[in-house]
A and B are shown apart, each in its own frame.
Chain A
Amino acid sequence: MSSMLKITNLHATVAGKEILKGLNMKLEAGEIHAIMGPNGAGKSTLGNVLAGREGYEVTQGEVIFNGKNLLEMEPEERACEGVFLAFQYPVEIPGVNNTYFLRAALNAQRKHRGEEPLDSVGFLRLVRQKLEVLHIGDELLHRAVNEGFSGGEKKRNEIFQMAVLEPTLAILDETDSGLDIDALKTVAEGVNRLRSKDRGMIVVTHYQRLLDYIVPDKVHVLADGKLVATGGADLALKLEEQGYAWLEDGGIATLNVESAVPTANP
Chain B
Amino acid sequence: MSELSSQLAANLPENTGVRPEWLKVIRETGAEQFRTHGLPTRKDEAWKYTGLGALGLAEVQLATGLNIPSANTTQPSPLAESGLQLNLLDGQVLELTGDAPPGLTVLPMADALGSGVNGLQGLLESLSVKHTKAASGQGFSALNSATLDSGVVIHVAAGTDARRLSLTWSTSQGEKPLLFNFRVCVILDQGAKLELLEQFESNDENANTSNMVMQVDLADKSNLQHIRFQQESDKSVLITRTEVSQQAESEYAYFGFDLGGGLVRHDLHTSLWGAGAKSGINGAYLLDGNRHVDNHTRVDHFAGGCFSDQYFRGVASGSGRAVFNTAVCVHPGADESEARQSNANILLSTRAEIDTKPELEIYADEVIASHGATVGQLDELAVFYMRSRGLSEEDARQLLTTAFCKSVSDKLADPVLSEVISQRMMDVMPQAE
Instruction: Please give the residue numbers on chain A whose beta carbons come within 8 Å of chain B beta carbons, in ascending order.
Output: 51-54, 74-76, 78-80, 84-85, 87, 90-96, 101-102, 104-106, 108-109, 112, 144, 161, 165
Contact = CB atoms under 8 A, between A and B. Distances in A.
A108 B384 contact: no
Interface in B367-387: 379-382, 384-387
A109 B390 CA distance: 6
A106 B390 contact: yes
Nearest to B381: A91
**Which 5 pairs of residues, A with B, have the shortest CB-CB distance?**
A95-B403, A105-B389, A79-B390, A91-B385, A75-B387
Given A101-B399, A104-B395, A104-B399, A93 B386 contact: yes
23 contacts: A53-B384, A53-B388, A54-B384, A74-B387, A76-B392, A79-B387, A79-B389, A79-B390, A90-B385, A91-B381, A91-B384, A93-B400, A96-B400, A96-B403, A101-B386, A101-B389, A102-B389, A104-B391, A104-B395, A105-B390, A105-B391, A108-B391, A109-B390
A118 to B, nearest CB: 13
A102 B391 CA distance: 10
Of the listed residues A54, A85, A91, A144, the one surrounded by the most CB atoms of chain B closer than 10 A to its CB is A91
B314 to A, nearest CB: 14
Given A94-B407, A95-B404, A104-B399, A87 B385 contact: yes
B408 to A, nearest CB: 10
A84 B387 CA distance: 11
B393 interface: yes
B406 A105 contact: no
A120 to B, nearest CB: 13
A87 B384 CA distance: 11
Given A52-B388, A94-B407, A76 B379 contact: no
Interface string B193-232: 0000000000000000000000000000000000000000
Given A96-B399, A104-B395, A85 B386 contact: no
A224 B28 CA distance: 84
B407 A108 contact: no
Contact of B380 (A54, A74, A101, A105): A54
Interface in B385-433: 385-393, 395, 399-400, 402-404, 406-407, 410
A227 to B, nearest CB: 24
B390 A76 contact: yes
Contacts of A105: 386, 389-391
A101 B393 CA distance: 14
A165 B390 contact: yes
A112 B406 contact: no
B406 A95 contact: yes
A106 B386 CA distance: 11
Contacts of B406: 95
Contacts of A80: 390
A54 B379 CA distance: 13
B387 A93 contact: no
A74 B393 CA distance: 9
Nearest to A96: B403
Given A101-B399, A104-B395, A108-B395, A93 B382 contact: yes
B390 A93 contact: no
A49 to B, nearest CB: 12
Given A53-B384, A108-B395, 11 more contacts: A74-B393, A75-B387, A75-B388, A93-B379, A94-B404, A95-B407, A104-B399, A108-B391, A109-B390, A165-B389, A165-B390
Contacts of B395: 104, 108
B389 A161 contact: yes
B103 to A, nearest CB: 38
A109 B384 CA distance: 16
Contacts of A91: 379, 381-382, 384-385
B106 to A, nearest CB: 36
Contacts of B390: 76, 79-80, 105-106, 108-109, 112, 165
B358 to A, nearest CB: 21
A94 B403 contact: yes
Nearest to A83: B388
A108 B395 CA distance: 10
A165 B95 CA distance: 52
A105 B392 CA distance: 9
A75 to B, nearest CB: 4
Nearest to B406: A95
A77 to B, nearest CB: 9
B403 A93 contact: yes
A147 B404 CA distance: 13
Of the listed residues B381, B400, B406, B410, the one surrounded by the most CB atoms of chain A closer than 10 A to its CB is B381
A93 B380 contact: no
A76 B391 contact: yes
Contacts of B380: 54
A95 B378 CA distance: 13
Nearest to A106: B390
A101 to B, nearest CB: 7
A95 B407 CA distance: 6
B210 to A, nearest CB: 32
